[in-house]
Chains A and B, each alone.
Chain A
């Protein structure tokens, strides 16, 4: 337009800027060479071309440098990038090339100096337009194409075809319709951003420039300046608008993308957070469920504890010492005769019911513990309280002290058990047991020629005292009364009933000669009592001299006789109902049997034969079998039967009495008896038997018996002067001569009066020799009588 040296649109500048931006500033030699090469043909001389090239190189270099300084994005996706390329890259930087170029034109004489402003303006706008129109195209096209879809390509092609046609048309019509390209530029920018907007701007600007240069259409009329202004304004508008619009769209798109990304990110984070939350929530839920479960269990345990306390009558307490607060369990209140949790407590209030002297003991224990400065268990203590209603209870307390780190007492915990009933029961049990024991013979009487053994085994359960009993009664007649019985029930009542029965039987045994009568009288006595107890009883009268036994049985298990010849057999019969049940059945219910030497009589109570899970019949059969095999010695027999029949777990108490006649024959007979008249009859019984067994003729035996009786009566009546003393009788036989020695530990006084005189007469008359020896220890009468060749040894 201006002498052909400056053009309204100078693409090389745009190319140069693009080159700098893409590869960096070090490509300036290439740019300079290219500028020189482009300018040489159109410059008047080489110098002018070189100067122009310098300007054309310097301007893009400055543009690129400035753009780099402001952080220009080559993809021009931000508004500031669009602004930067417009103002810094194009308008500002191209001042350099325009100035250099215009000056060169003037200096080289290509144009007159008055043309300088116009040349400068055209140059400037041309370069600026070159940058504005070409650089974005190169920058955007340089980046490798991302594969767009087919529809996008078709759209792009359509857009460009339409834009080309439209541009050509608007430029070549007379109508001023150049603005019609704007929507298409908008389309390009909107749909393809810089990638579409830059080429579209280039296309439109190129067509406009070409049209202006050829003076076509719109540019047909007007001056050069007018056309120039119009064209440059148009091109600047096109480039600026499309570039800015595209940048805006890009920016918007990027913002949206960023927004979407951040939204997605946010959503992801929300999701993550949500899932974390829900996990936490789930955990929380589990925790809550667990806690509820735990608290339910705790409540259950508390309930169970409370129940256990109530059942066991055990209360628990806690004393929080620094604040002097006492917490009682419900049962504690009940034990003390209050309603549960009736009132709050202090230590003083807690012990106000304690009996004074017991409280003193409690305080002493506590003071010792509190002063110790360490954790410790207090000694358990039994004490009494008097309830508000006046009832006294016995309590057993245990306690434990807890101290803090500094040794100061913090709290004391403990339990209290109401042991009132227990102590009462224990006491009753002790009494019953004592009673029971006292009613049983301390030891069995010593009866020569009769071996006796007895056992009493209490029931294994501690609290039960049974009513089993036995008795051995040496009677004045020389016979032996044997009794065994069982009072129904246990405890104090049974024991006392049993004691009464035993005493009554003893009394009746001395009065009555017949077992039936004795049992009948005991039965009558039981019926007289206001609350008759049921009891079983066997009374058996044994005559050691004849070996005859007579017995009556009131509902008791039958006695057992074990004989070597006939094995074991029960003494059946003579049975009447138990005492306390029916009236006296009347009649003589009595059986007489013989208990020969070598056999054993066994009396027992049902504890021996009754066992859980088996019938009494089985028990009796078993006893029979056991007794037949058992050792014959009475003591061993008892032990054997108890261990084999009962073992350790006797549920009921057991009494056992074994009687075994033993021959006296041959062995010396030694009897130590209390010096009282009642021993004489049994003594005679034994001596008679002994004499019979050594083979003494009845007449001789009788005379020896009388002599012996006289000596014994003398001791009883005179030796001890009314005090208690021992009568010591010894009989032995040697070479057909019986020796009788009667000793005492008293002071022998010569008998006075006819009675004693007759006694000495009898002794002297019946015995071959009689000698009396007296010393400070006592006296002894020694008598001998020959019994003839028939006597043993």
Chain B
């Protein structure tokens, strides 16, 4: 696992499911963004980004998520995050108030339930 971050994409109907493994910093943020964008088809209406296995994320990662969310917003696509309590990145997201712009759930199930709601 030499790449810092790996993106695993899964399509479930109109739902795009992206799992981000590894770390995101200034060395790979743009690459990760491109990869994620490329992994999201246009006909998808909902995108769930799972950060459960993301071990490091700093301001560059935050900026990435915000930019992605903004672009998806323009495409009328809605993005949400899954960040379990106790995840290393959770405190970063909370401290910077990201959940104000991007909905954040503890788990995948919560995220999916919210979407259906």
Closest B residue by C-beta to A678: B27
Q: A706-B58, A758-B63 known; A475 and B2 CB under 8 Å?
A: yes
Q: What chain A residues lie within 8 Å of B3 (beta carbons)?
A: 476-477, 511, 513
By the criterion CB–CB under 8 Å, are B2 and A476 in contact?
A: yes
In the complex, A765 has a CB within 8 A of chain B = yes
Closest A residue by C-beta to B66: A754
Complex Cα distance, B95 from A758, in Å, reads 9
By the criterion CB–CB under 8 Å, are A702 and B2 in contact?
A: no
By the criterion CB–CB under 8 Å, are B59 and A758 in contact?
A: yes
By the criterion CB–CB under 8 Å, are A699 and B95 in contact?
A: no
Interface string of A753-783 (1 = CB under 8 A from B): 0111011011001100000000000000000
The contact of A509 among B2, B25, B60, B62, by CB within 8 Å, is B2
By the criterion CB–CB under 8 Å, are A476 and B60 in contact?
A: no
By the criterion CB–CB under 8 Å, are A758 and B62 in contact?
A: yes
By the criterion CB–CB under 8 Å, are B96 and A684 in contact?
A: no
Complex Cα distance, B6 from A198, in Å, reads 164
Q: What chain B residues lie within 8 Å of A481 (beta carbons)?
A: 2
Closest A residue by C-beta to B4: A476
Q: What chain B residues lie within 8 Å of A756 (beta carbons)?
A: 59
In the complex, A512 has a CB within 8 A of chain B = yes
In the complex, B91 has a CB within 8 A of chain A = yes
By the criterion CB–CB under 8 Å, are B2 and A513 in contact?
A: yes
Segment at the B interface, from A82-90, A291-299, A452-460, A708-716: A708-716
Complex Cα distance, B61 from A706, in Å, reads 11
In the complex, B38 has a CB within 8 A of chain A = no
Q: What chain B residues lie within 8 Å of A762 (beta carbons)?
A: 58-59, 92, 95-96
By the criterion CB–CB under 8 Å, are A681 and B4 in contact?
A: yes
The contact of A758 among B1, B91, B96, by CB within 8 Å, is B96
In the complex, B107 has a CB within 8 A of chain A = no
By the criterion CB–CB under 8 Å, are B63 and A477 in contact?
A: no
By the criterion CB–CB under 8 Å, are B27 and A759 in contact?
A: no
Closest B residue by C-beta to A481: B2
By the criterion CB–CB under 8 Å, are B25 and A680 in contact?
A: yes
Q: What chain B residues lie within 8 Å of A677 (beta carbons)?
A: 25-27
By CB atoms of chain B within 10 A, which of A680, A684, A709, A758 has the most? A758
Q: What chain B residues lie within 8 Å of A680 (beta carbons)?
A: 25-27
In the complex, A510 has a CB within 8 A of chain B = yes
Q: What chain A residues lie within 8 Å of B1 (beta carbons)?
A: 477, 479, 513
In the complex, A705 has a CB within 8 A of chain B = yes
By the criterion CB–CB under 8 Å, are A681 and B95 in contact?
A: no
Q: A476-B3, A476-B4 known; A755 and B60 CB under 8 Å?
A: yes
Q: What chain B residues lie within 8 Å of A758 (beta carbons)?
A: 59, 62-63, 96
Q: What chain B residues lie within 8 Å of A713 (beta carbons)?
A: 25-26, 58-60
By CB atoms of chain A within 10 A, which of B25, B58, B60 has the most? B58
Q: What chain B residues lie within 8 Å of A766 (beta carbons)?
A: 91, 95
Closest A residue by C-beta to B92: A706
In the complex, B88 has a CB within 8 A of chain A = yes
Q: What chain B residues lie within 8 Å of A681 (beta carbons)?
A: 4, 23, 25, 27
Q: What chain A residues lie within 8 Å of B63 (beta carbons)?
A: 754-755, 758
Q: What chain B residues lie within 8 Å of A461 (beta carbons)?
A: none
Q: What chain B residues lie within 8 Å of A684 (beta carbons)?
A: 23, 56
CB under 8 Å from chain B, chain A span 597-649: none
Complex Cα distance, B24 from A477, in Å, reads 11
Q: What chain A residues lie within 8 Å of B26 (beta carbons)?
A: 677, 680, 713, 716-717
In the complex, A703 has a CB within 8 A of chain B = yes
Task: Give min CB distance, A785 to chain B, whole Å.
Answer: 13
Complex Cα distance, B60 from A20, in Å, reads 170
CB under 8 Å from chain B, chain A span 686-712: 698-699, 702-703, 705-706, 709-710
Q: What chain B residues lie within 8 Å of A477 (beta carbons)?
A: 1-4, 22
Complex Cα distance, B86 from A243, in Å, reads 174
Complex Cα distance, B74 from A788, in Å, reads 46
CB under 8 Å from chain B, chain A span 489-548: 509-513
Complex Cα distance, B25 from A677, in Å, reads 8
Task: Give min CB distance, A683 to chain B, whole Å.
Answer: 10
Complex Cα distance, B91 from A727, in Å, reads 26
Interface string of B57-98 (1 = CB under 8 A from A): 111101100000000000000000000001010011001100
By the criterion CB–CB under 8 Å, are B59 and A759 in contact?
A: yes
Interface string of B9-50 (1 = CB under 8 A from A): 000000000000011011110000000000000000000000
By CB atoms of chain B within 10 A, which of A509, A681, A766 has the most? A681
Closest A residue by C-beta to B87: A702
By the criterion CB–CB under 8 Å, are B56 and A706 in contact?
A: yes
Complex Cα distance, B26 from A731, in Å, reads 21
Complex Cα distance, B60 from A762, in Å, reads 11
Interface string of A467-481 (1 = CB under 8 A from B): 000000001110101
Closest A residue by C-beta to B6: A513
By CB atoms of chain B within 10 A, which of A511, A512, A698, A713 has the most? A713
Task: Give min CB distance, B49 to chain A, whole Å.
Answer: 18
By the criterion CB–CB under 8 Å, are B4 and A709 in contact?
A: no
Closest A residue by C-beta to B1: A513
Q: What chain A residues lie within 8 Å of B62 (beta carbons)?
A: 755, 758
Q: What chain A residues lie within 8 Å of B28 (beta carbons)?
A: 476
Closest B residue by C-beta to A705: B56
By the criterion CB–CB under 8 Å, are B58 and A476 in contact?
A: no
By the criterion CB–CB under 8 Å, are B25 and A512 in contact?
A: no
Q: A475-B2, A706-B58 known; A761 and B25 CB under 8 Å?
A: no
Closest A residue by C-beta to B22: A477
Q: What chain B residues lie within 8 Å of A759 (beta carbons)?
A: 58-59
Task: Give min CB distance, A671 to chain B, whole Å.
Answer: 16
Task: Give min CB distance, A577 to chain B, whole Å.
Answer: 25
The contact of B91 among A509, A512, A513, A703, by CB within 8 Å, is A703
By the criterion CB–CB under 8 Å, are B58 and A511 in contact?
A: no
Complex Cα distance, B23 from A703, in Å, reads 14
Complex Cα distance, B63 from A73, in Å, reads 165
Q: What chain B residues lie within 8 Å of A475 (beta carbons)?
A: 2
Task: Give min CB distance, A742 to chain B, whole Å.
Answer: 13
Q: What chain B residues lie within 8 Å of A511 (beta carbons)?
A: 2-3
Task: Give min CB distance, B18 to chain A, whole Å.
Answer: 19
CB under 8 Å from chain B, chain A span 77-110: none
CB under 8 Å from chain B, chain A span 644-690: 677-678, 680-681, 684
Q: What chain A residues lie within 8 Å of B60 (beta carbons)?
A: 713, 755
By the criterion CB–CB under 8 Å, are B58 and A710 in contact?
A: yes
Complex Cα distance, B27 from A678, in Å, reads 6
Task: Give min CB distance, A605 to chain B, whole Å.
Answer: 25
Closest B residue by C-beta to A510: B2
Interface string of A106-138 (1 = CB under 8 A from B): 000000000000000000000000000000000
User: 20 other contacts beyond A699-B86, A709-B58, A713-B60, with CB at 8 A cut-off?
Assistant: A475-B2, A476-B2, A681-B4, A681-B23, A702-B88, A705-B56, A706-B57, A706-B91, A710-B59, A713-B25, A755-B62, A756-B59, A758-B96, A759-B58, A761-B95, A762-B58, A762-B59, A762-B92, A762-B95, A766-B95
Binding site for A on B (CB under 8 A): 1-4, 22-23, 25-28, 56-60, 62-63, 86, 88, 91-92, 95-96
Nearest 7 Cβ contacts at the A-B interface: A677-B27, A513-B1, A759-B59, A758-B59, A702-B88, A765-B95, A755-B63
- 6 A-B residue pairs with Cβ-Cβ distance under 8 Å, sorted by A, are A477-B2, A699-B91, A713-B60, A716-B26, A759-B58, A762-B58
Binding site for B on A (CB under 8 A): 475-477, 479, 481, 509-513, 677-678, 680-681, 684, 698-699, 702-703, 705-706, 709-710, 713, 716-717, 754-756, 758-759, 761-762, 765-766
